[in-house]
Amino acid sequence: MINNFQEQAKQMGASGEILIDADPAKGFFRVKLRNIQPEHALPQFTKGIVEAISFLGKSMNLTVKEYIAGEEEPHE
Residue 7 is assigned to a structural domain of this protein = no
Give the chain's mean pLDDT.
90
Give the number of domains in the chain: 1
% pLDDT > 90, the chain: 61
61 is in which domain, residue-wise? 14-76
pLDDT of residue 74: 67
Q: Reply yes or no on whether the pLDDT at 50 is more than 90.
A: yes
Give tens-digit pLDDT for 1-30: 778 888 888 888 888 999 999 999 999 999
Quickly list DSSP for the chain. Answer: -HHHHHHHHHHHT-EEEEEEEEEGGGTEEEEEEEEEESGGGHHHHHHHHHHHHHHHHHHTT----B--TTSSS-B-
Residue 21 is assigned to a structural domain of this protein = yes
Q: Reply yes or no on whether the pLDDT at 33 is more than 90.
A: yes
Residue 44 is assigned to a structural domain of this protein = yes
